[in-house]
Amino acid sequence: MLSVLRTIWMVLLHSFRKRDTVLYPEVKPYLPPRYRGRIVLTRDPDGAERCVACNLCSVACPVDCISVIKGEDETGRWYPDTFQINFSRCIYCGFCEEACPTYAIQLTPDFEMGEFDRQKMVYEKSDLTISGVGKRPGYNYYRVAGMAVGGKDKGEAVSESEPVDIKTLLP
């Protein structure tokens, strides 16, 4: 019986404690840069799209919410014709970010994307693409990759050696 009275007294003392609740819309919580929130498509430092429409993100996605259709420009460089993410399905697991070879697709610390219309949760390429480089400043896939594309030939990439001439015996 005494313990019950003691409990009541101790609960009453909680009137003078600090409240733990964060009043959300007024007080925003701190989200670290690596928080997995809204997905964006970034550009490389030159301002060109990073995405090469390889569909690895689409394959990696456990809920199949990414849909990419490949396009190709006159220099042979691939780019996504359409790039849709259905955010009403997305579970923000970040697998697409891990799968992406060009660091194009990235997750950002933003989660405020509620909608009344479910159809509005399907983000098109224009909604997804941002003008910056995201979490990977200075990274340009085609500068370091050994692929011949858009005027850059094989062996011209950063710290890439000349391609081996397999038709000759000279060292």
Which residue, 8 or 63, is less far from another protein as judged by CB? 8
Measure the CA–CA gap between 155 and 143, rounded to whole angstroms: 10
Could you say whether residue 28 binds another protein (CB under 8 A)? no
Identify any residues that bridge with 82 across adjacent strands, giving them in sequence order. Answer: 69
To another protein, the closest distance from the beta carbon of 35 in angstroms equals 25
- Give the dihedral of Cα atoms 60, 64, 65, 71; nearest 10 deg: 70
Could you say whether residue 170 binds another protein (CB under 8 A)? no
**Helix/strand/coil for 40:** strand
Q: Give the C-alpha distances (Å, rounded to integers) separating 55 from 66, 95, 97, 115, 128.
A: 9, 13, 12, 27, 16
> Looking at 18-26, 85-93, 101-109, 125-133, which segment touches another protein (CB under 8 A)?
18-26
> Looking at 17-25, 84-92, 106-114, 136-144, which segment touches another protein (CB under 8 A)?
17-25
Could you say whether residue 2 binds another protein (CB under 8 A)? no
Could you say whether residue 27 binds another protein (CB under 8 A)? no
Measure the CA–CA gap between 110 and 115, rounded to whole angstroms: 14
Could you say whether residue 12 binds another protein (CB under 8 A)? yes
> Looking at 12-20, 33-41, 50-58, 121-129, which segment touches another protein (CB under 8 A)?
12-20
Provide the sign of the torsion angle of the four alpha carbons 62, 64, 65, 68, taken in this order.
Answer: positive
Q: Which residues form the interface with another protein (CB under 8 A)?
A: 4, 7-8, 10-12, 14-15, 17-21, 23
